[in-house]
Amino acid sequence: MKKRKIGKSTLEVGAIGLGCMGMSEFYGERDEQESINTIQKALDLGITLLDTADMYGVGENEELVGKAIAGRRSEVILATKFGNVRNAKGEFLGVSGRPEYVKSACEASLKRLGVEVIDLYYQHRVDPNTPIEETIGAMAELVHEGKVRYIGRSEAAATTIRRAHVIHPITAVETEYSLWSRDVEDEILPTCRELGIGFVPYSPLGRGFLTGQIQKFDDFAQDDFRRFLPRFQGENFNKNLVLVDHIKELAEQKGCKPSQLALAWLLAQGEYIIPIPGTKRIPYLEENIGAVNIQLTSKDLKLINEIA
């Protein structure tokens, strides 16, 4: 596994990380032991950045990750998040960035994960009712207390990232980015490059669509949240399939899988980018890792860009 540094931190991780959200919620059936096996296999193969959040499975995902890394803490760069508030039933209660909530959420995550320190702690969503300076100030205190090593932002605007960075260095920004979700190219990526902030794309495979495995709407399980996203519905679904077909053709020419081509394209966008494709199955994990060995020429990149 090739290595990359996250921003200006001392965190060196595998060039591809692992998103753990789908192991506990949102993407159909769950199998705890299979997920634990997948996380441990990821570590064996050189993936070191594991990404979770307190809201995934209402804390269950952090507990799952904690079980998987027990006895292997030194091999892991652990990232989790706070801010999306849910009750025990899973109902969404809003977003909180209040200082007192930041600290209580951190303590709860440390306990569920079974660790003494979180390597990278993200504010999951911006709280419009709490000045960002107050939230980041509380996160900075967690760093000074030794409970968090570095802090990050998820789904924040460029201006908010800049305001936060003034209060305490932001190490990473996590936001959706893939061949078919490219909003961040306008302001977020330039801001991260300028400030020396690492960028961690979630859903780098277009929520599974860019793998080529999804061919019809009914491929989604009844409890799969993708059924409710506009990009997967009606004419949008059919139009997006055309994009995937083009990616498939190019992947065949390169002798790789569509998923590997999509990840290789992301990796080629800059050394500061570390995608975290999510999977709960070892075959897909191994497939994703293969992307680090795919070399894309400037001609390839131009063609992919035109397709997308």
Per-residue pLDDT tens over the stretch 260-278:
999 999 999 999 999 999 9
CA-based nearest residue to 90, from 68, 62, 57: 57
pLDDT computed for residue 241 by the predictor: 79
Residue 94, Ramachandran bin (φ over 0: left; ψ between -120 and 50: alpha; else beta): left
pLDDT of amino acid 211:
73
Q: Per-residue confidence at 237, pLDDT binned at 50, 70, 90? A: confident
pLDDT at 307: 81
| Contact of 172 with 197, CB cutoff 8 Å | yes
Task: Return all residues near 247 (Cβ < 8 A) that are at least 6 apart.
Answer: 179, 210, 212, 258, 261, 262, 304, 307
Task: Kindly report, residue by residue over 78-94, the tens digit of the pLDDT.
Answer: 999 999 999 988 898 99
Helix or strand run (H / E) with residue 120: strand 118-123
Query: Please, which contacts does 303-306 make with residues 24 or more away whose CB atoms are closer than 8 Å?
Result: 303/250, 304/179, 304/247, 304/250, 304/261, 304/265
Could you tell me the CA-to-CA distances from 71 to 41, 113, 285 in Å, in that order?
Answer: 14, 12, 22
272 given a catalytic annotation? no
Helix then strand count (H, E) for the chain reads 10, 11
Euclidean distance between CA atoms 228 and 185, whole angstroms:
26
The single residue of 27, 56, 121, 150 carrying the catalytic annotation is 56
Looking at the predicted structure, is the pLDDT value of residue 71 above 70? yes
